[in-house]
Amino acid sequence: MERLRELWTSYRSQILILVALVILVAGWYFKSPQQSQAVETFSSSQQSLASQATSNVSATAGPVCVDVKGAVKHPGVYKLRAGARVDEAIEAAGGVLATADMKQVNRAKQLTDQQVVYIPLPGESIPGTAGGEATATEASGSSDQPIVNLNTATKEQLCQITGIGDKKADLIIQYRQEHGQFKSVDDLKQVSGFGDKSVDKIRSQLAV
């Protein structure tokens, strides 16, 4: 303690000058243009991130409209809450048919606006996927048309195909009952009302 007093007494002026210089340098550093620019850049970056986050929330805040097709009781377009899952779309469509192949469907997947949810039958593959549990219940990548299996489809499902009405659907089912399963899509030409041109038009929507 005595030593400190001696140092203070001997070097008081030098110490005060040193402290003053430190304060001046520190003040200059924090007020320099580089520091001000850094603070402004950081502030702008934070504002940009906040704006982007707000935009993302706004984009997903509204309801979503989805088109439910395939092996469900009431196919159609349904409006659901934001963040809804495939399972809710299926429920809105009255649930699945007893013959639906749910192994290919990810019921927990979150829905997006304008999505097509397609529920396949056994032997069908979800349009736009390579089969298996692809969980991609979106059919928008393949002209938004369902793939219907001629050997397992119900009358309601057959009628979803463009160009097939009640009468033709009944004839297809009658052909299955009398001749067994279709071996290929071309076998459909054996059914009354289907020729080369009509089969070619709907070939991409059919499977066996």
Q: Report the DSSP pairing between strands 64-70 and 76-80.
A: antiparallel
Examine the domain organization and report whether 137 and 124 are in the same domain.
yes
**Which sign, positive or negative, has the C-alpha torsion 155, 160, 166, 169?**
negative
Q: What CATH number does the domain containing 186 carry?
A: 1.10.150.280
E-state strands within 76-132: 76-80, 116-119
Examine the domain organization and report whether 137 and 198 are in the same domain.
no
Model confidence over 87-140: pLDDT tens digits?
A: 999 999 999 999 898 988 999 999 998 899 999 888 776 665 433 333 344 443
Q: Which of 75, 131, 140 is nearest to 103 (CA)?
A: 131
The whole domain housing 161 covers 147-208
Examine the domain organization and report whether 131 and 173 are in the same domain.
no
Distance CA 53, CA 61 (A): 12
E-state strands within 18-167: 64-70, 76-80, 116-119, 148-149
Q: At 55, is the pLDDT very low, low, confident or very high (cuts 50, 70, 90)?
A: low
Structure letter (DSSP) for residue 13: H
Count the domains in the chain.
Answer: 2
96 vs 28 pLDDT, higher one: 96
For the chain, how many residues are written?
208
Residue 11 lies in a domain: no
